[in-house]
Amino acid sequence: MSIGHTLLGLLESGPRHGYDLKRAFDEKFGHDRPLHYGQVYSTMSRLLKNGLVEVDGIEAGGGPDRKRYAITEAGVTDVHQWLATPEKPEPYLQSVLYTKVVLALLTHRDAADILDTQRSEHLRMMRILTDRKRHGDLADQLICDHALFHLEADLRWLELTAARLDKLAQAVTR
């Protein structure tokens, strides 16, 4: 996820302080990975330097001055271009799981055990996500569906690989 673009997009609804941006980000996108304040302020500093935001006001307080940021026209254009650019599909050709299975076969370990353990872990995570989806709002349901579909694809791969283990062992140990 591009944190900078996300913060810029949040600023399109109006100027905000860094604290407000962090809170909005965490509420909408950071359920599982909230932003650190330092990450917000370093990102805002970079966006300011690049002309994508400007300081809309400064308020003195008990601590450091609080800057209110506003998106610039260049920032709006940047967000528009980012949203219009499709994400590169990840083909997962460098899978750690695949590497573990092949190394298990090469070192004469039980690759079926690795697949079984991974299957159990995937099913455990699917139960957690299904429960979260059941109790979540629409946004949470959609992000859980996204994760569940990826886990289902992984499970299909685990089953296919388990069915082909003997052939894979022959192919990699020649």
Could you give the CA distance from residue 109 to residue 100 in angstroms, rounded to a whole number? 10
Domain-by-domain residue ranges, the chain? 3-84, 96-173
Amino acid 89: pLDDT? 82
Could you give the CA distance from residue 27 to residue 15 in angstroms, rounded to a whole number? 17
Amino acid 92: pLDDT? 77
Mean pLDDT per 10-residue segment, the chain (174 residues): 92 95 91 89 96 92 83 97 89 84 94 96 97 93 95 96 95 88
Task: Give this prediction's pTM.
Answer: 0.74
Amino acid 66: pLDDT? 87
